[in-house]
Structure 1
Amino acid sequence: MQTYFYALADTIEKQLQTGETYLCTYEGEDSDFIRFNQGKIRQAGNVKQAYLSLSLVQGQRTSQTNITLSNDLAIDSAHLSETLAQLRQQLPHTPEDPYQLYSTTVHNSEHLANNTLPRTNDALDTILSTVQGLDFVGIYASGGIFRGFANSLGQRNWHSSYSFNTDWSCYHNQDKAVKSAYAGFIWDNATFAKKMETVKQQLHRLSYPARTIPRGEYRVYLSPTALSSIMQVLCWGGFGAKSQRTKHSPLQRLIDNPMEYRLHAGLTLTENTASGIAPDFQNAGFIKPAQVPLIKAGKFAQSLVSPRSAKQYHLPANGANDEEMPLSLEMQAGNFPQAYVLKALDTGIYINNLWYLNYSDRPAGRITGMTRFATFWVENGEIVAPLNVMRFDETIYNLLGKQLIALTIERELIIDADTYDKRANSTMCLAGALVEGVRFTL
């Protein structure tokens, strides 16, 4: 794929006219997809696909389009020639962009990951034998994801990664189920078996009579998966330079008034590209630092700065995508052992999953959402009943600030399970969180 992409880039290069610059990015994958229902394989297939995004630049004008590649060099080269001619015709009618910015410094890079994935059949044998007798519903996705960049200045970048992602639910009855996931780079049967044992234990507890508790404030434990839902909402503008400069960031109070608003001193968040599966370059040719500290010991550290924001607000670009959202978010581990969570929770709510999250007051950093699947009521350090669905409404400054009791030592790698259009390559590495006084409104 790498050689093929570079051959296409050379084809574009040869057809450029005076004063023209091109930028192009490559997105490809070779993935196995297996869907399960009631503990059986219901659909199996392999997807090999590749797309090329081409931008033609002249002065401050840019025309851009995307094409699907056939992997036949003659066909794709002819398609590119036609596409380039069309973009050239469009350029005079394209308005000038005052915030256009692309890298003019050539930084070549190559990341060729080792493929340590199991054979799909071996993973399936383990899954099917482990989930016998369960209403197991989910998906197994595995394979390579490939990204490339090239421009007329001679820059060439390539990134490959190989990962698997198993995302599933085991149903008890009606709306009662346990959701779990296992993702990574090297399949370990013992790790999957341990996760399934936890699922089975929680399924048994779902057989207890469900309980509804009054609205109010409760001590809660947020699993890494539940916390990832909160972090996903926070990433909607929380760390981007544009949202911060336009005062739309949900972390604006932390940025503008750090003496009054702060997060927990044990909270450190980093965009850790070096440990994720996303590439270390973006579609304007800028190279991402290995790490960008976002929150350091509870205080605002840096913004994610896209090329457009860099030009508009006179900031140094740091390789952020156009949305200025983290792709490889990592939370520093805490000092609290996960094995003691129930004992420390004492009486409160154990939350495995959240859903339907959104801002209820964006400027205040207030988020609302619903509990989902296996959420349990805990008394004296013991799970005593599953809870019916509840809505929470709380600020980031409480959840990750003054009401945060502890973060777990253990962290979980969460790979985005989105497969719409193509497999996602964003990741989070998160701890679990023990939080005091979370407000539940109904």
Structure 2
Amino acid sequence: MELAPRLQLMNWLVSQGLTGLPESDLLRGFCERCRAGGLDLSRGLVVIDTLHPIFEGRGFRWNDTATNEDDIFEYGSSSEGAAAESWHRSPFYHMLENGHDELRIDLADGASSGFPIIVDHAAQGHRHYLAFVHRFGEAGTLGQMDCVYSCWLTRRPDGFGELGLSALRDLVPVLGLSIKSAAQVDIARTLGRVYLGRDASEQVLRGRISRGVAERINAVLWFSDLRGWTAISETMAPGEIIPFLDDYAQAAIDGIHGEGGDVLKLIGDGVLAIFTGDDMTRARCAALRAEHQFRRNMTDLNARRSGGGLTTTTAYVGLHVGEVFYGNIGSEDRLDFTVVGPAVNEVSRIASMCRSVDRELLLSQAFRDGLDTAAQAYLVSAGRFALRGIGRARELYTLDPDITSDESVAGSYRRYLAG
């Protein structure tokens, strides 16, 4: 590849990296332009670790012929099991262990059979293999994202040649920088969703990060916590506490997210969430569906935990509707994007009242009154109560007990929620 097409490709990589072209498109465009410029690539692979609660990293593939491989793949931990064994037998691991930045292999060389993936490549008609590890400096590292791995293959019997090798040595670092830039945007979005919640994350990433900037919104408020958590935590082995909380938080979050709600806070065993929208009746119904799914999730979870001899419990849920301030609250050094206001205090008091009246779900009158007539028919009054810190007594409602004791009523309620 001559100098002019190299410079054109570098300019393309920089411009597309700045505009935010996805990693897989960057790789495809890179490979296609290499081939157009005389560099006879037959396969390209780029791998980069990330900062994600589930995945260790992501990889991107390009081939000169159609295959059944996905262009994008994600991988979990490579520290144990079959994944660790596969990693330890890879050329990239060999390069890291031996301090190599570049590795060239003639696939016709029998010595290369020490790497199973090389044998596979040879069987597919590739003839030469070139791998790079481009390491980041300490300031450029995020979590396990400390380098970009890449490998390049050709079907040419004589390999890439000195001109091709020189071109790849010049071009691949620029591709790696563009892919790293895209990966960092992915990390920012992931961390925002995981730690702030889905809507709050989008608001922050759109620039709403100024202290004191908040809007007044009407929202359906959810607060839940676990039955008997204090006693459970005092008797549970320390190593069991976090997995216990994780299991029940997952059951709640899956139910809330599945119905379009946003989880704003995990407070020990408590969950604060909101449901919003132009139609607050629909938001109320979404919260009821989420609560129903939460119960189903817990039924499955408790069966699984009981089968393993693990502690189980259930949860209390309070639902309310009110006006709240939604936005940045805190100091210059530490902000929280959340909701505040009397309605938030009230929904937590409603959830706390579940213990006193022995009901797993309590709803405020404001929540009940905004439902349609069909939904209201499934609710009964739990009584009028003075809530701590709330100026006057509140009428609270719960699901009709017949829903748990009469299958025909239960089926009717399920059909209502599904409709």
TM-score bracket, normalised by the shorter chain, equals under 0.3
TM-score (norm 2): 0.22
**Structure with more helix by fraction:** 2
TM-score (norm 1): 0.22
Whose Rg is larger? Answer: 2
